[in-house]
Structure 1
């Protein structure tokens, strides 16, 4: 992990190529060290408006490096950009993962929160946008400083409640994520997903919460080693309502996680945000499949990435945007 503090990002060096990501290290409020990367322009925007900065929140146990091409593309289109790894993953993995107590709550309340505060401090006066992939859309609601966000774009964002899995895939997914994952997690002290080629090794708190997810996410933490009392659980849920940024939630029809039910379940928490749920078929962009991950592949630079770019730039959908609107809600609808 890079050793600069959040105030010592190497992006401050004048000799650095701004088109290349620079490592940055941040510290969460509990002292945990997080690693990430920053793309930062040296010059202000030509028209004098403040340059926006975008934070990319990864899917569960996906390294931040997976989003490098997308972040670099947004950088070329005018944004400063930040990617980072949640505790336990990639640049933020400790020497002994089995000793790490971490859950999705930590990823939102502490890790994303630390990145939000860093962006607010290091990119002072710049609008902050967020791109959230899968659980990366969920953790937005957990951060106490989510009121700082200007706009949100999500892809397949949900919190993996098993009843929302695509029906055709549900039996295999139940076996994989609700039988194999918790069993191996209890055996190893963390989920050794890397050995199976499924994703990055995962902290046990994340794996076990996923395996017992409830229809209301806060109820997942009613009985567990990281249990929260009723008032604490209600406070977690109400924090989502602090977000006022408009959300474009995208999903694709061949994503077994990002079903209509799953995406709508999460959007229901963001009661003070204007939300649009856009659903895209692979055929709409001339391909056979997209799935849960491929949106961020560079082969979709011309077809899908402009959807995110346009939303972050204007807060509106372009007339020729592929897909169909599933739902559109004003704040407190």
Structure 2
């Protein structure tokens, strides 16, 4: 009954692909330093300056193809959509990751920035919205053109400070991501995550950023570079209406972790929505499942409503976390 009520409260929603929706059109785009990035575009045939375009920022070492069905869903509900892979991942992977210079800050300041510029060029005059999963929410604050973002939805977004991990999983996660991952990276010259079944293979610079056990992003290796160069981080440039969605069973996206990242978005209006799996009639959701099509009728409408209106529907599941 709650699911049915939720759907009636939200704007009209198409639950499947529209007849004109197909797989995203592949593209190549140079990042701001010339590195060639690969991605996909969902583009409506008719140009409309009132139609928003959504850029989807992936989680660390998750391929952009993971978000294709969510992109189909946004397209079917009236958005143009851009998905892409950060350098070193998926469509943007070179022949070898050994020696590849790539960090979290490169993914945001160079790669995501290139997508912001592409959106402004390819979808001129259209509003620009962003969806960021996990580190993708952090990347949304690292682009120099962040001021053009109208609305931002993040899911489980944080930058992996180990003390913010859920207490029941903290030490196992610390061993996995802050001990084993950097040691394997030293051995191979990159993190062979795909071989281990953990993640996509990951550039060494990204591993250094992730595994550094510091509570401030500007103290991460690549964060220090940006801060030293500019005297500050670019998060404050983002003035978007921001919805941070977290799941109560996500061991990465705890309340302290989400709030830690939101604290950098000082120029935006921020809402933190905390959802428990039982709020939507599920036993578990976790960190990665939000973008699976199984949640098209329960979780996706929350993001859609915010992207469309900048507001939560009255019967949205979960609770708002008070801002400190």
Q: How many residues end up aligned between the 2 structures? A: 305
1:247 to 242, 246, 257: 242
Q: 1:123 to 1:188 in 2, by over 3 A?
A: same
2:261 to 251, 262, 266: 266
1:1-333 map, 5 Å: 19-44=22-47, 50-221=50-221, 228=225, 231-232=228-229, 234-236=231-233, 239-328=234-323
SS at match of 1:235: coil
Instruction: Decide whether aligned partners of structure 1 residues 145 and 195 sit closer, same or farther in structure 2, where only a CA change above 3 A counts.
Output: same
- For 2:289 and 2:183, the matched residues in 1 are separated by 29
8 Å contact kept, 2:37–2:84: yes
CA drift at 1:228: 2.4
Q: For structure 2, which runs of at least 5 residues remain unmatched after alignment?
A: 1-19
Mapped to 1, the partners of 2:323 and 2:92 lie a distance apart of 36
Q: Are the aligned partners of 2:218 and 2:227 in contact in 1 as well (CA < 8 Å)?
A: no
Deviation at 1:43, TM superposition (A): 2.1
CA contact (8 A) 1:154 1:249 kept: yes
Cα displacement (A) at 1:208: 1.5
Bigger drift between 31-40 and 17-26 goes to 17-26
Q: 1:9 maps to which residue?
A: none
CA shift for structure 1 position 20: 2.8
What RMSD over aligned residues (CA atoms) do the two structures have, in Å?
Answer: 1.5
Bigger mean CA deviation after superposition, 18-27 or 248-257: 18-27
Work out the CA distance in 2 between the residues paired with 1:227 and 1:131: 25
Task: Supply the distance in 2 between the matched residues of 1:138 and 1:40 (Cα, whole angstroms).
Answer: 26
Structure 2 length as normaliser, TM-score?
0.91
Do the aligned residues in 1 keep the contact of 2:104 with 2:139 (CA within 8 Å)? yes
Given the superposition, is the C-alpha separation of residues 60 and 230 from structure 1 closer, same or farther in structure 2, using an over 3 Å criterion?
Answer: closer
SS of match in other structure, 1:115? helix
Question: Any runs of at least 4 consecutive aligned residues in structure 1 with deviations exceeding 3 A, and if so which?
Answer: none
Match of 1:6 in 2: none
What CA deviation, in whole Å up to 9, does each residue of 1:254-279 have, x standing for no partner?
Answer: 00000000000000001110000000
1:170 and 1:327, CA in 2 relative to 1: closer, same or farther beyond 3 A? Answer: same
Deviations 1:30-84 (A, max 9, x none): 1100000000001246xxx611100000000000000000000000000000100
TM-score w.r.t. the length of structure 1 is: 0.89
Contact 1:18–1:42 (8 Å) recurs in 2: no
Deviation string for 1:129-184 (max 9, x for gaps)? 00000000001111000111110001000000111000000010011001100000
Whether the 8 Å CA contact 2:50–2:126 is kept in 1: the answer is: yes
The structure with higher relative contact order (CA 8 Å, sep 6+) is 2
